[in-house]
Amino acid sequence: MSDLREKYISLIAEAADEAALEALRVQAVGKKGEVSLQMRSLGKMTPEERQVAGPALNALKDEINSALAAKKAALADAALDARLQTEWLDVTLPARPSRQGSIHPVSQVTEEVTAIFAELGFSVAEGPQIDSDWYNFDALNIPGHHPARAEMDTFYMARDEGDNRPPHVLRTHTSPVQIRTMEKQGAPIRIIAPGRVYRADYDQTHTPMFHQVEGLAIDKDISMANLKWTLEEFLRAFFEVDAVELRFRASHFPFTEPSAEVDIRCSWEGGTLKVGEGDDWLEILGSGMVHPKVLQAGGIDPDLWQGFAFGIGIDRIAMLKYGIPDLRAFFDSDLRWLRHYGFNALSQPNLHGGLS
Ligand code: DAH
DSSP codes joined into one string, 296-339: HHTT--TTT-EEEEEEEEHHHHHHHHHT---GGGGGS--HHHHH
**For a substitution probing ligand 1, which of 173, 178, 248, 289 has the most ligand atoms within 8 Å of its CB?**
173
| 272 vs 322: CA distance, rounded Å | 10
Instruction: Give the model's pLDDT for residue 144.
Output: 84
| 180 vs 197: CA distance, rounded Å | 16
Helix (H, G, I), strand (E, B) or coil at 5: helix
- Which residues on adjacent β-strands are paired with residue 210? 197
**Beta carbon of 173 within 6 Å of any ligand 1 atom:** yes
Report how far Cα 251 is from the mean position of its chain's Cα atoms.
37
- What atom of ligand 1 comes closest to residue 212's alpha carbon? 4
- What atom of ligand 1 comes closest to residue 178's alpha carbon? 12
- For residue 237, give the nearest of 100, 337, 122 by alpha carbon: 122
Asked if 277 contacts 287 with a C-beta cutoff of 8 angstroms, the reply is no
Phi then psi dihedrals of residue 43, to 5 deg: -60, -30
Alpha carbon of 214 to ligand 1 centroid (Å): 7
Helices (H) and strands (E) in the chain, counts: 12, 10
- For residue 118, give the nearest of 184, 185, 213, 210 by alpha carbon: 213
Query: The pTM is what?
Result: 0.72
| 148 vs 154: CA distance, rounded Å | 10
| Residue-level pLDDT, tens digit, the chain, 356 residues | 778 889 999 999 999 998 999 999 999 988 898 888 888 888 888 888 888 888 988 999 999 999 999 999 999 999 899 998 888 888 887 777 656 788 999 999 999 999 999 999 999 999 999 999 999 999 999 988 887 777 778 999 999 999 998 889 999 999 999 999 999 999 999 999 999 999 998 888 889 999 999 999 999 999 999 999 999 999 999 999 888 899 999 999 999 999 999 999 988 887 777 888 889 898 899 999 999 999 999 999 999 999 999 999 999 899 888 888 888 999 999 999 999 999 987 777 777 666 76
